[in-house]
Amino acid sequence: MPDRSRRAAHLVVGALAASSILAVGTISSPSVAAAPTHIDAGGLPGHVGVDYGTGNYASVFLWGANGQVASSCTNAPCSFGGPGARYEFYPHTGFDPAGNPNFDPWVGEVGSVHIDSTGGNVLNLGTVTLPRVGVSFGGSYPAVRLDGDVLSSTPVPDGRVGVNSFQVPTVAPDPIRDLPSNGSVLLGSFSTAANRGNRWTAGVGWPGRYILFVKDNATGREIQVFQDLGFGAVPTIDLDAICFGFDVCQYLKGGPSTTSGTFHPTPPTR
């Protein structure tokens, strides 16, 4: 997967490019929220990561099953992010290799969210509601699992494909789909995941427009793509195809290569 500093930079550049080319709207949130942060994750504990957009990342905020946030760092710069920073909320749906509670996008019915910062305090965002399967929030469609297929003429072991997904709003002439709001900040579904066999996932999320960062770790090729997810179908990632089978993409590393000549039947989801 892309490292966090490069991913943050490309997310900002991608949003700017989309506003003029693909008509994707701003992904900024209001800089000030009126209430202390409280997490609605269906009773799951979790943690908050702060991507400062400068190559620095910290996971210093935890919340309990009651949704209350506890932090070992409440003063700037830990709890504040300037323009380009982002807060990422991860429910503890699984365990890491050491057996510690952690986010597993393949497990459960609760997803994660990202909130862009314009200088606000991560401890003062109001109620942060995470997507839950079948539940609507803030004008969104009900959340769904976003799982799709991976195709390749060569073996696809676990971890070969990395996908980072960020929900973003759209503007005319595309169908207008705003990000859900809690009245103070905008929330977008978010996930970071590796494939499991011939399947990839963006976890649980609200249907909408997403920026996807897709990397084939076997070849080093990596792309950025804007894609609608969750409206009845999830696209197939075809590692042998140009743009991995998406209609339009930007190559972040590598480029189109000669395919093996193998034809892959795929559902018409794009």
Q: What pLDDT sits at residue 54?
A: 75
Query: What pTM did the predictor assign?
Result: 0.82
Residues 165, 25: Cα–Cα separation, whole Å: 16
Query: Could you say which residues of the chain have pLDDT below 70?
Result: 1-34, 60, 71-82, 118-120, 257-270
Beta strand pairing status for 69-71 and 199-205? unpaired
16 CB-near residues (< 8 Å, 6+ apart)? none
Q: What pLDDT sits at residue 203?
A: 97
Q: What pLDDT sits at residue 58?
A: 74
Integer Rg of the chain from CA: 18
Q: What pLDDT sits at residue 191?
A: 96
Tell me the residue ranges of DSSP E strands in the chain: 38-40, 46-51, 57-63, 69-71, 86-91, 94-95, 101-102, 112-116, 127-129, 144-151, 161-168, 188-194, 199-205, 208-216, 222-229, 237-238, 250-253
Q: What pLDDT sits at residue 92?
A: 95
Q: What pLDDT sits at residue 2?
A: 42
- pLDDT by residue (tens digit) across 25-53? 333 444 444 588 899 999 999 998 888 77
- pLDDT by residue (tens digit) across 164-175? 999 999 988 888
Phi first, then psi, for residue 212 (nearest 5°) are: -110, 135
Q: What pLDDT sits at residue 34?
A: 57
Taking the alpha carbons at both ends of the chain, their separation in whole angstroms is 23
